[in-house]
Structure 1
Amino acid sequence: MTGRSGRTVRDLRRANRTAVLQRLYFDGPLSRFELGPATGLSSGSISNVVAELVADGLVEEAGSVDSDGGRPRILLRAAPGSGHMIGVDVGETRVRIELFDLTLTELARVEKPLEQRRYEVDGIVGHIRDGVAEVLAAASVGPEQLLGVGIGVPGIVEHTPGRGAVVHGQTIGWDAVPLEELLREGSLLPESVPYFIDNGAKTLGQAEMWFGGGRGAHNAVVVLFGSGVGACLVTPEVEHGRAVEWGHLTVRVRGRRCRCGALGCLEAYAGA
């Protein structure tokens, strides 16, 4: 059945499940009573959605709290073992691969050093593939249990319909590298497991907005100082934030030569 807005009953059910899971994920544990105001759903909808999520193994009880004169309220939380995620950071000196459960508890980690900051495409792809296999084996988690793999990389990422994520990284010598396509070739992960590939400063900005200093803020600038210098602008007008090539802003005319080839970049002075 389709309503006036064009949404079907299935769409509405999915949206309600998503709303409850998001609140439990970011703000839980919460009681059913607290989930109502937090999601805008009625008490009847909350009861139905929670029952479905518990039956599916996505939500579990997490103790209870005393209520004002009534029965203790049961607290609910996202079930840690109901899903797993892998995060990958392609940094200046190493590639770090970490495996998490649904509550972002780290289960396994490996680091692959980069020799003399060498960014050969085959080497990076190999490090990511090997690292994914190693953390899954270390935690005895099957590839089919993954919800996705998130990868932060230097450079600008273009999301194309045919080749997936394509990376343009002038400072590391990458010119339209089809990273997602290369990772899919010979991968142990099933096609159903998605890759989420984006600029490293942008992924850092999103993490700060979700779990760090940006929680509760509508607008923020998150700055990354390392061997390179990056920034992410987060604002409601730009979905998921925007990476800013701040490190390659010219701060001195005819200044020091930057690794990008230009003169006087901020990174040539502020980068480690």
Structure 2
Amino acid sequence: MAGRSGRTVRDLRRANRTAVLQRLYFDGPLSRFELGPATGLSSGSVSNVVADLVADGLVEEAGSVGSDGGRPRTLLRVAPASGHLIGVDVGETRVRVELFDLTLTELARAERPLTQQSPDVEAVVGHIHEGVAEVLDRAGLPPGRLLGAGIGVPGIVEHTPDLGAVVHGQTIGWDAVPLEALLRSGSPLPDTVPYLIDNGAKTLGQAEMWFGAGRGARNAVV
């Protein structure tokens, strides 16, 4: 059923879940009391959303904190094992692949050297495939459990409708390389797991804004 805004109850539920998960992910652990003003949701909505997320295994309790004259407030956090991510850094001298849980705790790492000044595209793709398979094997994690693989590359990344991410990297001698399509071919990951490819400097800047020196700021120079 859609309301006046055209949003259905399902849309509203999804938006509320997203709001709570985002705040717990970036600012948690938080109590239900703190989640209200942080998300703009009513206390009743927060309680319902949290109950659903706990039942789905996405959120868990993380201790308690005292309150002003009342009962201690239970702290909540995103459940670390409820999802996993892979990060790939393609540098000028090496390819690094890391596996993380949802709290960004590193679970496994693989690294492959690049010996040529202008790394061969096929070699880089092969290193990424091998590294992804290696970290998953070390952690004993099925590929389908991944939420996605983020890849930072040197160069400008163009997102196209037919080939996906295409890399223009003058410093490494890449000219319109359809990296996403090449990675998907022969990938150890199922098609349901996305490759998210962007310029390495941009991914570094985003990480600093989310979790590093730029946290809480509107703008930062990296």
Tell me whether the two structures share a fold, i.e. TM-score over 0.5: yes
- The answer to whether structure 1 residue 164 and structure 2 residue 164 are counterparts is yes
Measure how far apart 1:4 and its partner are.
2.2
CA contact (8 A) 2:118 2:173 kept: no
For structure 2, which runs of at least 5 residues remain unmatched after alignment? none
Match of 1:117, SS?
coil
Structure of higher CA gyration radius: 1
Listed one character per residue, the Cα deviations across residues 141-187 of structure 1 (whole Å, up to 9, x for unaligned) are: 11011000000001100111111111111221111111111111111
Tell me the residue number matched to 2:213.
213
Tell me the residue number matched to 1:203.
203
Instruction: Give RMSD over aligned pairs.
Output: 0.8
- The answer to whether structure 1 residue 88 and structure 2 residue 88 are counterparts is yes
Measure how far apart 1:10 and its partner are.
1.2
Match of 2:221, SS?
strand
Match of 1:92, SS?
coil
Measure how far apart 1:118 and its partner are.
3.5
Tell me the residue number matched to 1:245.
none
Q: Which amino acid aligns with 2:212?
A: G
Measure how far apart 1:122 and its partner are.
0.2
Q: Which amino acid aligns with 2:213?
A: G
Ranked by relative contact order (alpha carbons within 8 Å, sequence separation 6 or more), the top structure is 2
Measure how far apart 1:3 and its partner are.
2.0
Match of 1:221, SS?
coil
Q: How does 1:14-163 map to 2 (within 5 A)?
A: 14-163=14-163
Q: Which amino acid aligns with 1:31?
A: S
TM (norm. structure 1) is: 0.80
Measure how far apart 1:117 and its partner are.
3.0
Listed one character per residue, the Cα deviations across residues 77-105 of structure 1 (whole Å, up to 9, x for unaligned) are: 00000000000000121000000000000
Q: Following the alignment from structure 2 to structure 1, what is the Cα–Cα distance between the partners of residues 47 and 19?
A: 13
How many matched pairs?
Answer: 222
Measure how far apart 1:6 and its partner are.
2.1
Q: How does 1:240-259 map to 2 (within 5 A)?
A: none
Measure how far apart 1:60 and its partner are.
0.2
CA contact (8 A) 2:92 2:172 kept: no
Match of 2:16, SS?
helix
Q: Which amino acid aligns with 1:96?
A: R
Q: Following the alignment from structure 2 to structure 1, what is the Cα–Cα distance between the partners of residues 9 and 199?
A: 37
Q: Following the alignment from structure 1 to structure 2, what is the Cα–Cα distance between the partners of residues 119 and 9?
A: 50
TM (norm. structure 2) is: 0.98
Q: Which amino acid aligns with 1:110?
A: A
Q: Following the alignment from structure 1 to structure 2, what is the Cα–Cα distance between the partners of residues 14 and 22?
A: 12
Q: Following the alignment from structure 1 to structure 2, what is the Cα–Cα distance between the partners of residues 206 and 3?
A: 35
Say which is worse superposed, 51-60 or 109-118, in terms of deviation. Answer: 109-118
Measure how far apart 1:68 and its partner are.
1.5
Q: Following the alignment from structure 2 to structure 1, what is the Cα–Cα distance between the partners of residues 89 and 162?
A: 24
For structure 1, which runs of at least 5 residues remain unmatched after alignment? 223-272
